Chain A
Amino acid sequence: MRTLRFLLQKEFKQILRSKSIIFSIVIGPIIQLILMPLAANYEVKNIYVAFVDHDHSSYSQKLIQKVYSSIYFKASPYAASYADATKLIEQNKADIIVEIPHGFEDDLVREGKDKLYLAVNAINGTKAGVGSGYLGAIIADFNQDIRLQWAQPGRFSEAATIDLVTNNWYNPFLNYFLFMVPGLMVSLLTGIGAFSASLNIVKEKEIGTIEQINVTPIRKVHFILGKLIPYWFLGMVVFTIGMLVSRLIYGIIPLGSIPMLYAFLAVYLITLLGAGLLISTYSDTQQQAVSVAFFFVLIFNFISGIFTPIDSMPEWAKWLAFLSPISHFAQVMRMVVIKGSGFQDIMPHLIAVAALGVVLNTWAVINYRKTT
């Protein structure tokens, strides 16, 4: 016990002395947490629409006005022909082309139907899908206006309509920060945790100071605990800073229980540090440790569901996500913070993370050798 206390004293001194570590652990996350949510907004808006109006009628003008008055759409520069409009797409000045055929209004009034031609730049698939969806809704709305204007005011001539009444629970204003900030906190914490702990041990190896520790009566367990406990505390501190930032800057107050979040975090950090430790036992240089940690953090980060929904992934990726502690913690954070989920709801995730923690830590301890 006494040995451990001295080791802890040494580690804390080393960490607190190093300005670059303090900077990257305290200031770094704050900056990232302030900047990233501002950028990480998938909401599809600012869709540039170019109209190629061959009709120049009052209807085509009305349609154009209706589209541009929506918050989602913005006007592209004028295009006289379809070829012009295609150029606009190539220059990234338009996302959607709407071609209004010659005689649009006349055909609509006389023959009762006409067509609009839409061409969408689909390189960004989501933007294309959602954008053309919005546009379709506006056109349908416009169509309904015209129908009401012309149709006889009788009940049966009117087309039957089905209305969708939408309720957005938990986040009625569709505030994107509420969703992204808890997820990003997990991502940041993971990056710091996995890297700093593994780098720390490997640094001793690389510089050679680990030899000195190896010849002392310090036991394997003490050494490992001495390395992990400080970073466990640092993880707690970083998380607390994150909670404060999200409270003060984004006004996010967790709906669920905060002590429960900390309890989950405590388990999560043990798992995460176990992974860092495991990496360090397999690496001899810091460059190696960084490379390996980077490789896994990158994969697990992207697959964690923080940035893109897990539901859309293929089966193998879902399994990988299930094996990744990051995705469990990200889900728990979002569930507890946004929806106020209770212990019952997060139980499966807690078990999964704890099990992973046991596996990783056992593996790391077995693999750690005092001799080289």
Chain B
Amino acid sequence: MKQLLAFVQKEFYHVFRDRKTLLMLFGVPIAQIVLFGFTLTNEIKNANIVVSDYAHDNVSEEIIRKIEASRYFHVVHSNMSHNQIEAAFRTGNIKMAVIFPANFTSDLSHLNKAQIQVIADASDPNTATTLTTYLKSIISDYQVQMAQLNNTPYQINSEVRMLYNPELLGAPNFVPGVMALVLMLICAMMTSISIVKEKELGTMEILLVSPIKPFLLIVAKVIPYLIVSIINLITILLLSVFLLHLEIKGSLILLFAESILFIISSLALGLLISVRAQSQMAAMMTSQMSLMLPTMLLTGFMFPIENMPWPMQALSNIIPSRYYYTIVKAVMLEGLGITAIWKETLILAFITFVLVVINLRSFKTRLA
């Protein structure tokens, strides 16, 4: 026990002496929360669009006022030709052009039908469809309003309630993802690098011939990162409560317990990499390729898993962070208890168990 403590102390010195690495250990979570909380949203706001109003009548102007009032659009008025629109698209400043043809209102009142032309820069399909959808709902709102004024029969009105996140912020979706990403990164990548470093510098030999048991040696390596991860977890939670005003709805103890389970699985992954890798560069590249990337892609917080082709969906089933993400979302944002997430918890525990067993196995062979 005393030996272990001495080794843990040594590892702590390593970690805390190195200021620049600390920037990574504690800076990344903070930077990520701030970034994800304030900048990263798939929602499209203030998109520059051109409105060419050839009609200049009261209906077109009223619709344009509605478009201007929406926070999604930033309207530039100018009657552009198709060539001018294309030139504007090519510089990338304009996302969409909305064109009201001449005699818009007279068509509407005489033919009962009028058209608005929309040209979207679909080089970004997501922005194009989202902006078109927003525009459609503005127009249909306008029509509903008109219909109510004219007392049109057979109206269906929908009353929409947004649950859990009424302002449709990006943060609630991202915070659990960031938690998974950060914990995974710090535990797995930094642990593997710090072990491989000893190999690369040759100090591993010295450690292995010291009287401490090899198993405890690894435990000592892992403990500082476990503690750093827990500190990070607390930082992330504090930041999301006080900076992003996200309420933690569920049980804090459950959240911590699940997090520690996930941290252990990540540490085990890091150890696994360190057994294979021979140089720090290789360890880093492996963690990036086999941990970072799958965590970002297959966890579901950046890209919806259900859109992916089936092999990737299948692959996502063995990614621990996917379960952790679901758990955090359920506990933190929806306030659910263990009854709602026992399945995910069991799977996560099973993955962790398998990883730890593999580690113990491969560890023995290395000592021989």
Q: Mark B80-102, 1 if CB is under 8 A from A, else 0.
A: 00000010011110010000000
Q: Report the stretch among B34-42, B219-227, B258-266 that lies at the interface.
A: B34-42
A195 touching B284, Cβ below 8 Å: yes
Q: Mark A153-182, 1 if CB is under 8 A from B, else 0.
A: 001001111111111111110111011000
A81 CB within 8 Å of chain B: no
**Once the chains bind, are B143 and A162 in contact (CB under 8 Å)?**
yes
With both beta carbons as reference points, the residue of chain B lying nearest to A317 in the complex is identified as B39
What's the minimum C-beta distance from A202 to chain B, rounded to whole angstroms? 9
Q: Is the CB of B35 within 8 A of A302?
A: yes
Q: Verify if A13 is at the interface (C-beta below 8 Å from B).
A: no
B140's nearest neighbour on chain A, judged by CB, is A140
User: A20 touches which one: B18, B21, B91, B281 (CB < 8 A)?
Assistant: B281
Task: Tell me which of A2-10, A50-58, A142-150, A362-370 binds B.
Answer: A142-150
- Can you name the residue of chain A whose Cβ is closest to the Cβ of B19? A288
In the complex, are the beta carbons of B156 and A108 less than 8 A apart?
yes
For chain A, give the interface size range.
35 or more
Whether A123 contacts B112 by the Cβ 8 Å rule is no
Q: Name the contact of B146 in the complex, choosing from A160, A166, A312 (C-beta under 8 A).
A: A160
Residue of A nearest to B137 (CB): A133
CA A282 to CA B23, docked complex, whole Å: 13
User: Known interface pairs A38-B312, A112-B154. Does A309 touch B127 (Cβ–Cβ under 8 Å)?
Assistant: yes
Binding-face segment, B1-9, B234-242, B325-333, B347-355: B325-333
Name the residue in A170, A174, A309 with the highest tally of chain B Cβ atoms < 10 Å from its Cβ.
A309
CB of A314 closer than 8 Å to a CB of B = yes
| B47 interface hit (Cβ, 8 Å) | yes
| Nearest B residue to A109, CB-CB | B154
Contacts of A45 in B (CB 8 A): 307
B109 within 8 A of A: yes
Instruction: Specify which of B122, B165, B201 is in contact with A171 (CB 8 Å cutoff).
Output: B122
* Chain B residues with CB under 8 A of A123: 164-165, 172-173, 329, 333-334
Q: Tell whether A39 pairs with B312 under 8 Å between CB atoms, given A116-B156, A120-B161.
A: yes
Q: Note all chain A residues with C-beta closer than 8 A to B124.
A: 179, 309, 334
Is B162 close to A, CB under 8 A?
Answer: yes
B117 at the interface (CB under 8 A from A): yes
Across the interface, B143 reaches (CB within 8 A) one of A161, A283, A286, A302, namely: A161
The yes or no answer to B20 lying at the interface (CB within 8 A) is yes
A interface SS class: helix
Q: Which residue of A lies closest to B281 (CB)?
A: A199
Is B76 at the interface (CB under 8 A from chain A)? no
Does A151 contact B154, Cβ atoms closer than 8 Å? yes
- B132 within 8 Å of A (CB atoms): yes
Which residues of chain A are within 8 angstroms of B23 by Cβ–Cβ distance?
291-292, 295
Q: Which B residues touch A89, using CB under 8 A? A: 163
**A28 interface residue (CB < 8 Å to B):** yes
- Interface residue A221 (Cβ < 8 Å from any Cβ of B): no
A117 x B39 contact (CB < 8 A): no
Q: A143-B155, A174-B125, A341-B91 are in contact. Are A206 and B46 (CB under 8 A)?
A: no
Complex Cα–Cα for A125 and B162 (A): 9
Does B233 count as interface, using CB distance less than 8 angstroms? Answer: no
Interface residues on B, range: 35 or more
Among A29-37, A222-230, A351-359, which stretch is in contact with chain B?
A: A29-37
Q: Does residue A128 face the partner (Cβ distance < 8 Å to B)?
A: yes
Using CB atoms, name the residue of chain B closest to A298. Answer: B28
Do A90 and B330 touch across chains, with their CB atoms under 8 A apart? Answer: yes
Once the chains are docked, how many angstroms separate the CA of A119 from the CA of B295?
30
Q: How far is the CB of B326 from chain A (nearest CB, A)?
A: 7
B280 close to A286 (CB less than 8 A): yes
Known contacts A163-B114, A199-B281, A298-B32: A339-B123 contact under CB 8 Å: yes
Write out the residue numbers on chain A whose beta carbons fall within 8 Å of the beta carbon of B122. 168-172, 174
Q: State how many angstroms separate the Cβ of A209 from the closest Cβ of chain B.
A: 13
A134 within 8 A of B: yes
Q: Which residues of A contact B92 (CB under 8 A)?
A: 331, 334-335, 339, 341, 345
Q: Are A312 and B43 in contact (CB under 8 A)?
A: yes
Q: How far is the CB of B312 from chain A (nearest CB, A)?
A: 6
Q: Is A236 interfacial (CB-CB < 8 Å)?
A: no
- Cross-chain contact A162 with B304 (CB below 8 angstroms): no
| Inter-chain contact A291/B21, CB cutoff 8 Å | yes
Q: How far is the CB of A136 from chain B (nearest CB, A)?
A: 6
A178 with B298: in contact, given A162-B115, A162-B139, A164-B136 (CB under 8 Å)?
Answer: no
Across the A-B interface, give the 4 residue pairs with the lowest CB-CB distance, nearest first.
A291-B24, A168-B122, A125-B168, A122-B162
B residues near A (Cβ < 8 Å) are 18, 20-21, 23-25, 27-28, 31-32, 35-36, 38-48, 63, 86, 89-92, 95, 108-109, 112-130, 132-137, 139-140, 142-143, 146-147, 150, 152-170, 172-173, 189-190, 193-194, 197, 200-201, 278-282, 284-285, 288-289, 293, 297-298, 302-304, 306-309, 312, 326, 329-330, 333-334, 336, 340
Interface of A toward B, CB cutoff 8 Å: 20-21, 23-24, 28, 31-32, 35-36, 38-46, 89-92, 108-109, 112-130, 132-137, 139-140, 142-143, 146-147, 150-151, 155, 158-172, 174-176, 178-179, 191, 195-196, 199, 203, 206, 282-283, 285-288, 290-292, 294-295, 298-299, 302-303, 307-309, 311-314, 317, 331, 334-335, 338-342, 345
Q: A166-B132, A203-B281, A312-B43 are in contact. List 11 more A-B contacts (CB 8 A).
A: A28-B285, A32-B293, A43-B307, A124-B304, A133-B137, A162-B114, A170-B122, A170-B123, A287-B197, A308-B39, A311-B46
